Structure 1
Amino acid sequence: MLRVIKSFQYAFAGCSFLLRTQTNAWVHLLATVTLFIVCCFFHLSTTEVVLLIIATASVWVAELFNTAVEQVIDLLHPQWHPRAGRVKDLAAAAVLVTALSALAVAAFIFIPKIIH
């Protein structure tokens, strides 16, 4: 049981590190809170809610992995190097693609409801 508690402590430490060090995490947090407030004003099906949760969680997972990649690159190669920069750019691009996909999911769900 102690090991399970420790694993949660490590996970929360990772979330805390993300919010303390990554400005974009605050943008994602604002978007997440805004999304779930907006959800309260629309009649959403269970499927729509699940899709929004998956899309939002995917953005957070991408941001966490991006931050982990950046930390590893900085540890292994503290000086700037084009290949290290490219790896960081690719990780950041993964976040961008995930965020744009989540935005598309939200648009497909909310735009028809706003129009009608």
Structure 2
Amino acid sequence: MKSQQEDFSIRSRIRSFRFAFEGLGAFLLKEHNAWIHFMATIVVFTLAALVGVTKHELLALVFAIGFVWVAEMFNTCIERVMDFVSDQRHPEIKFIKDLAAGAVLIAALTAVVVGLVVFIPKLF
């Protein structure tokens, strides 16, 4: 019996990158929170360039920002799947969606703490 897994090919790897970029584009076009994160990302990197952060500080900022973006994208996926599963209000679906939103909140608060640790000494 042949495996469901397709053989490795450069063409299929390139296609998978195309799908990933299409997903990023759709996320930016359809999700309002993506624009909030995008603007925050621009502000943080602009401020980092203006105050002259170190390589290690920049790395911390990049990881914190990436953490928030990934959390928001997973949250969006979870919300969309739950809306697809049922359009009725259900306590378990509410719990799942609230938990995913809570994960984004924790990621965002973590990023704020990283930003404060990096920028407060440089600004004051």
Structure 1 length-normalised TM: 0.94
Is 1:61 the counterpart of 2:45 in the alignment? no
Q: Does 1:20 align with 2:25?
A: no
SS at match of 2:53: coil
User: 2 CA distance for matches of 1:18 and 1:86?
Assistant: 23
Identity of aligned residues (%): 41
Please list every run of at least 4 consecutive aligned residues from structure 1 whose deviation after the TM superposition is greater than 6 angstroms. none
Equivalents in 2 of 1:81, 1:71: separation in Å?
A: 15
Q: 2:95 aligns with which of 74, 78, 86?
A: 86
Q: Deviations over 1:17-71 (max 9, x none)?
A: 2112211110000000111111111121111010000000000000110011111
> Of the candidates 14, 20, 41, which is equivalent to residue 5 of structure 1?
14
- Greater CA drift, 28-37 or 12-21: 12-21
TM-superposed deviation, 1:89: 0.8
Correspondence for 1:33 = 42
Q: Give structure 2 stretches of 5+ with no counterpart.
A: 1-9
- CA-based RMSD of the aligned residues comes to 1.0
TM-score for the superposition, normalised by structure 2:
0.88
Q: Which runs of 5+ in 1 are unaligned?
A: none
Kindly name which structure, 1 or 2, has the bigger radius of gyration based on alpha carbons.
2
1:103 aligned to 2:121?
A: no
Aligned to 1:43: 52
Matches within 5 A, 1:67-78: 67-78=76-87
